[in-house]
């Protein structure tokens, strides 16, 4: 790594054009000696995995209002955290968020380790997140490479190897430009450059601080990079969700296994999800099948859930799950796909109740 003119040019641009984000210390405040809060950096980076900045802002603000410190988050109830996470997807991140908060609180006295190596030993923190926290929160000269940075490097260095095979090449390119001075600001500067100037479509090369060194721009191929391998078509899986309400208003719910998709989340009892799901009702009832399906897209597949609903007496005994009193039931505790099922069920349940 070397301190170079390229990094200085980008940092000068960042000082005047940095995005205002709720978890970020501005360049001016940083110059005045304000240190980034490692908790805020960690929380934002975990939330931003596979999610956009626009989607994360309100979640981050709500989380830090409810749990302003890592110790407060460590004391939180799992169900409440999972409920607040609903909509961000990838629920394994929320489970690891709690695990990490508790390890930091119990094993590290509420202080995050300062090196990427030590950070990566914590639950849910991989190489990218560890490098980002070390650089941004502790000014460690780490090479931080997210999707925005990959796009910038592909264009600056005219890397035409298709993704994801190009990742190693892109990280090596990023390492050439990463400075030892202000590494945290530099990491955020490259991210901002990719998010606001070197965008996926129609990059604004005319206002880019790196247009003079951009090899792809000189070759006229900047809009074509990075090259992406053809995406595989997502398969569609089918399933059945059973929505049961007791005559006293209680709802039948079950908690999914900790491991796997939507692990640890509350949901409606259901069948398997596959090409030919087999009926698996949680109790005997007069089931009413809705004509409309709940549809949801996960990372690797599309899901279509047939919805079966029933109203049962207070003496009904389910083989799976448990009834939750209507006053204790919070739709916000359900993952998005399960809330879609509830929304579609409400009208029909009112009719047959």
Q: Write out the catalytic residue numbers.
A: 45
Determine the straight-line distance between the first and last CA of the chain, rounded to whole angstroms. 69
Peptide bond into 350 cis (omega under 30): no
Q: Residue 346 and residue 342: Cα distance in Å, rounded? A: 6
**Under 8 Å between Cβ of 140 and 116:** yes
Q: Residue 33 and residue 151: Cα distance in Å, rounded? A: 31
DSSP conformation class of 274: B
HEC sequence for 109-163: CCCCCCCHHHHCCCCCCCHHHHHHHHHHHHCCCCCCCCHHHHHHHHHHCCCCCCE
Peptide bond into 164 cis (omega under 30): yes
**Under 8 Å between Cβ of 218 and 157:** no
CA 282 to chain centre: 32
Q: Residue 136 and residue 187: Cα distance in Å, rounded? A: 7
The string over 208-218, giving b where at least 16 C-beta atoms fall within 10 Å of a residue's C-beta and e elsewhere, is bbbbebbebbe
Peptide bond into 139 cis (omega under 30): no
Reported residue count of the chain is 353
Question: Within 13 Å of residue 279, how many CA atoms lie on the same side as its CB?
Answer: 7
């Amino acid at each position: 790594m070397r301190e170079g003119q390229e990094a200085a040019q980008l940092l000068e641009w960042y000082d005047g054009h940095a995005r205002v984000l709720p978890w970020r210390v501005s360049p001016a405040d940083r110059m005045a000696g304000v240190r980034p809060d490692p908790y805020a950096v960690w929380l934002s980076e975990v939330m931003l995995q596979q999610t956009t900045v626009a989607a994360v802002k309100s979640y981050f603000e709500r989380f830090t209002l409810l749990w302003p410190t890592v110790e407060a988050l460590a004391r939180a109830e799992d169900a409440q955290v999972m409920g607040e996470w609903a909509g961000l997807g990838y629920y394994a991140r929320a489970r690891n968020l709690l695990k990490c908060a508790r390890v930091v609180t119990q094993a590290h006295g509420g202080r995050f380790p300062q090196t990427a190596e030590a950070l990566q030993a914590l639950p849910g923190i991989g190489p990218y997140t560890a490098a980002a926290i070390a650089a941004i929160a502790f000014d460690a000269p780490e090479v931080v490479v997210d999707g925005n940075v990959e796009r910038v490097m592909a264009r600056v260095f005219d890397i035409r190897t298709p993704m994801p095979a190009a990742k190693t090449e892109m990280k090596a390119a990023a390492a050439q430009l990463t400075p030892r001075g202000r590494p945290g600001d530099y990491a955020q500067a490259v991210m901002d450059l990719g998010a606001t100037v070197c965008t996926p479509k129609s990059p604004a090369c005319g206002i880019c601080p790196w247009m003079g060194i951009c090899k792809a721009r000189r070759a006229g191929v900047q809009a074509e990079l990075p090259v992406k391998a053809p995406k595989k078509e997502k398969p569609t899986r089918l399933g059945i969700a059973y929505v049961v309400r007791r005559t006293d208003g209680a709802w039948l719910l079950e908690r999914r296994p900790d491991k796997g998709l939507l692990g640890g989340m509350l949901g409606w009892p259901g069948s398997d999800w596959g090409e030919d799901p087999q009926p698996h009702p949680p109790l005997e009832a007069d089931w009413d099948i809705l004509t409309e399906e709940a549809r949801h897209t996960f990372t690797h597949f599309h899901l279509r859930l047939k919805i079966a609903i029933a109203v049962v007496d207070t003496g009904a005994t389910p083989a799976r799950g448990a009834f939750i009193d209507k006053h204790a039931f919070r739709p916000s505790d359900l993952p998005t796909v399960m809330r879609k099922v509830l929304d579609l069920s409400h009208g029909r349940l009112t009719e047959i109740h």
